[in-house]
Structure formats: structure tokens, C-alpha cells
Chains A and B, each alone.
Chain A
Amino acid sequence: AQSVTQPDIHITVSEGASLELRCNYSYGATPYLFWYVQSPGQGLQLLLKYFSGDTLVQGIKGFEAEFKRSQSSFNLRKPSVHWSDAAEYFCAVGAPAAGNKLTFGGGTRVLVKP
């Protein structure tokens, strides 16, 4: 079965600083990987996804993520955070061999200091 680990529960970053959120996955085949963002009391918005091809994926809101198969990682980055980036971020792995279910990591809460 697939699993996702987000090692950092909370991250505090100053506005304008860079941000990196870690994600490690376990899956027996080529994974489909996703990053979502959730504001309080809201659903999830897709930031970016990786299926195949270029391992550096560009997403919305200035985010990017890099798939590293050797490290089983799919870390999310943003060069310069804005106060509006404060939210909960979830990494997820899709499993075509398991009914296309998404398995989510525990999430990382990002706080942005002025």
C-alpha cells in the first residue's frame, strides 16, 4: 500500500523568504504525485501534479516541486512567500493500481511572519 510522509508539521517563514516543504512517499510503482493547499474551513486546491516526464514541475501561485525517484521525494518550493501563502499544505500520491485512490500526507501548516 502507498503512504506519504510530511516530516514537518509546522513551518514558520518570513514574508519574502523562500519556502520548502518536504514530502516522502512509498509506492511500489511509478507514482502520481500531487501537492494541494487548504485554507481554513475550505476544500483543497491543486497546486501542481507529477505524472511523468520532466521531474521539475511548475504549478500555480509560483510553486514548483521536484520529483526525485532515488530519494522517493517530491518536495515543494517557492522562492519568495507571500502572506497569503499561509495555509495547510498536503502532499498526496495517486495509486492507479488501487482504484485511483489518493493517499495524503499528514500536512504541513505554514505560518508567514510579516
Chain B
Amino acid sequence: GAVVSQHPSRVICKSGTSVKIECRSLDFQATTMFWYRQFPKQSLMLMATSNEGSKATYEQGVEKDKFLINHASLTLSTLTVTSAHPEDSSFYICSARSSGGDADYGYTFGSGTRLTVV
């Protein structure tokens, strides 16, 4: 089945530094990738949608200059948290959607990245 690899699984960084999270589709081409943020014991909140080769579309309230998303290939999307602050500490999850039609309207999720900013 479809597999999405997300790295790192955990990262601790100092306040003011930047952190990059990678999301790779291992056995399918992901024309669209989604980035979510999840606070403890809460649901997933969509941050942005990225389509290969074009600029990401950010949800309202998400700072695009802080959360840089790149989707340079059909198998890789990255989320860079720039100038991280403690309030950016969270669980970040990516999801990739294959380029199939309605019969394959599937989303595969990565295993998530726990970011802690100290």
C-alpha cells in the first residue's frame, strides 16, 4: 500500500532557529500534500496545501513566512519552521494524496513530527 515517510519523528531546537521537516511518498506520486498541526488532545488543523511545482496555499491565520512549504517533486514536500518559538511546539503531520481519480481518493499520512522549541 501507499506509504508516506516523515522525518524527523522528534526534534528539539533552540528558540530562534529553523527546523525542516520532510515528507516523502515512497511508492506513489503525490500531486498534493497537506500539512497539519495537532495540539495535545486536539484534532488536526490544516495549515497548508501544496501542489507539486506551485506555491502552497495556506489556511487563514497561518503565517506563510514562518511556515515555509516546498513541494519541489512528486515525492517530496518540506515544511520549514523559521525562527521557531516555544509556541510553535506541536505535533506536525503531513498527508499525501495520490493522483488517482475518484476511485482512489485516498490520503496517506506520515507518522508525524514532535517539535519542541526550548
Which residues of A does B touch, CB under 8 Å?
A: 32, 34, 36, 41-46, 49, 51, 90, 94, 96, 99-107, 109
Residues of chain B at interface, number, CB under 8 A: 26
Q: Are A90 and B105 neighbours in the complex by a CB distance under 8 Å?
A: no
For A43, the chain B residues whose CB sits under 8 A away are 4, 6, 93, 109-112
Quote the shortest CB–CB distance from B34 to chain A (angstroms).
Answer: 7
B44 in contact (CB, < 8 A): yes
Given the complex of chains A and B, what is the CA–CA distance between A46 and B4 in angstroms? 13
Which residue of chain B is the closest to A107 with respect to CB atoms? Answer: B43
> A43-B6, A99-B49, A100-B32 are contacts. A106–B111 as well, Cβ < 8 Å?
no
For B91, the chain A residues whose CB sits under 8 A away are 41
Contacts A46-B106, A94-B107 aside, 17 further interface pairs with beta carbons under 8 A come to: A36-B109, A41-B112, A42-B111, A42-B112, A43-B4, A43-B110, A43-B112, A44-B109, A49-B105, A51-B102, A51-B103, A90-B43, A94-B105, A96-B102, A96-B105, A99-B49, A100-B97
Quote the shortest CB–CB distance from A40 to chain B (angstroms).
Answer: 10
Q: Are B6 and A105 neighbours in the complex by a CB distance under 8 Å?
A: no
Q: Are B43 and A105 neighbours in the complex by a CB distance under 8 Å?
A: yes
28 CB contacts below 8 A, A to B, read A41-B114, A42-B112, A43-B4, A43-B6, A43-B93, A43-B110, A43-B111, A44-B93, A44-B109, A46-B106, A49-B106, A51-B102, A90-B43, A90-B44, A94-B105, A96-B102, A99-B32, A99-B49, A100-B105, A101-B34, A101-B49, A102-B34, A102-B95, A103-B46, A104-B43, A104-B44, A106-B42, A109-B41
